[in-house]
Amino acid sequence: MKLLVCGGAGFIGSNFVRIRLAQGDEITVLDKLTYAGRRENLQDLDVRLVVGGIEDPAAIADAIGGCDAIVNFAAETHVDRSITEPDAFVTTHAVGTYTLLEAARERSLRYVQVSTDEVYGSIESGSFTEQSPLQPSSPYSATKAGADLLVASYHHTYGLEALICRGSNNYGPYQYPEKLIPLMILNALHGDPLPVYGDGQQVRNWIFVEDFARGIGHVLEHGAPGETYNVGGPDEAVNLDVVKRIIALTGASDDLIEYVTDRPGHDRRYSLGSEKARALGWEAQVRFGEGLEKTVAWYRDNTAWWAPIRSGDYRAYYERQYGRALG
Ligand code: NAD
Ligand code: TYD
């Protein structure tokens, strides 16, 4: 296929691009290269990169020629940043998704929106299905939910071949270290404190990034237009246990754990039921223990990837967020 992959220079997008190139797809990436989007993520890959925002019709027009389908990963993705600086979340998720949908509609292109389990909100027990109501709680998840509704409306109103794929918490190579797992790995490797929000008893449903990327590809090829597919990981884990596993894998000390002020409006538990995606023929292959080991090994072996991040603007972000400097 000839794909336009928006946000393809980020964490999940670049893993998706790597997998799809190996399967023979031709790919153009449209990416604004925000702090989270990096040319390094696409290094050595045979893709055309157009630098621009999905809210910019001219950038889309430049990138879209010859494509059969659009997969949209482009987003602001960190809940903590959505709490302190929500503007970019509204621009990219609302205006950006709208602009991209219009471009897809003009050209009658198949369209996959990459979304998140966070649109359903928090669940105490059981798992969300695609029928669960949307009850987002942060500016991140609320704007992602808004984008999903707009995508669904383009199928319903204009007959656009649009699909939505909702993933659970991803982890793996190339994830920007503001997120729990890479942050804890790099801090543990450096002997920096490991900041656990609140009581650390929140639960997340973890999926290895390659499993999610394959799931999105599967929905792109086999999903029914107008449908939403949950693509969740095989394991759930309590945050504090995740941190302790990382301590064990890096050989760091338990004393690095530091309980810090909780995130405002913090969702307690996410859990995604993925029967519909499994019925389509997709299955997660990587259990959390194996994926976490691979991820720790990747960060240990890829200093050249993260060293520029840890010595750049990320330091100022970290200081604002955690009220202390990185070591
Ligand atoms: P990321 O932050 O690593 O990457 C986002 C990418 O989008 C970056 O390359 C960035 O430069 C680009 N981007 C941001 N705004 C843009 C704009 N206006 N125009 C063009 N490009 C723009 O994020 P990620 O973790 O790879 O997430 C990708 C998608 O998957 C997002 O839509 C996110 O909501 C969804 N998702 C993420 C997770 C997770 O755990 N990370 C889980 C489920 C779903
Ligand atoms: P995060 O990786 O930000 O993903 P999300 O909020 O989208 O699930 O956080 C995962 C969990 O880890 C979440 O419950 C918040 C918690 N967390 C910490 O305890 N400390 C941290 O420094 C970070 C970044 C997250």
Tens-place pLDDT, residues 53-102? 999 999 999 999 999 999 999 999 999 999 999 999 999 999 999 999 99
Query: Ligand 2 pocket: which of 117, 207, 212, 239 to mutate (most atoms <8 Å of CB)?
Result: 239
Residue having the nearest C-alpha atom to atom 42 of ligand 1: 169
**Cβ-Cβ contacts under 8 Å for 65 (sequence gap 6 or more):** none
Tens-place pLDDT, residues 125-141? 999 999 999 999 999 99
Average pLDDT over residues 143-169: 98
Burial category of 199 from C-beta neighbours within 10 Å (exposed 0-12, middle 13-18, buried 19 and up)? exposed
Is 31 among the residues known to form the active site? no
Active-site choice (25, 117, 178, 192): 117
pLDDT score recorded for residue 276 = 98
Residue 9 has pLDDT above 90, yes or no: yes
The percent of residues in the chain predicted with pLDDT above 90, rounded, is 100
Residue 319 has pLDDT above 90, yes or no: yes
Query: Whole-angstrom Cα distance, residue 42 to residue 273?
Result: 32
Tens-place pLDDT, residues 51-60? 999 999 999 9
Q: Which two tokens stand for residue 40?
A: 């390094």
CA atoms within 13 A on the CB side of 282: 28
The mean pLDDT value of the chain amounts to: 98
Does the beta carbon of 69 lie inside 6 Å of ligand 1? Answer: no
Is 117 among the residues known to form the active site? yes
Does the beta carbon of 169 lie inside 6 Å of ligand 2? Answer: yes
User: What stretches of 65-179 show up as alpha helix (H) in DSSP?
Assistant: 79-84, 87-90, 97-107, 139-158
pTM, whole model, 2 decimals?
A: 0.99
Residue 311 has pLDDT above 90, yes or no: yes
Collapsing DSSP states into helix, strand and coil, what is residue 180? helix
Collapsing DSSP states into helix, strand and coil, what is residue 113? strand
The percent of residues in the chain predicted with pLDDT above 70, rounded, is 100
Burial category of 161 from C-beta neighbours within 10 Å (exposed 0-12, middle 13-18, buried 19 and up)? middle
Residue 327 has pLDDT above 90, yes or no: no
Nearest one of 227, 219, 201, 207 to 295, comparing CA atoms? 207
Query: Whole-angstrom Cα distance, residue 259 to residue 310?
Result: 22
Tens-place pLDDT, residues 190-234? 999 999 999 999 999 999 999 999 999 999 999 999 999 999 999
H/E run at residue 219 = helix 209-222
Query: Whole-angstrom Cα distance, residue 100 to residue 188?
Result: 40
Residue 133: DSSP 8-state:
P
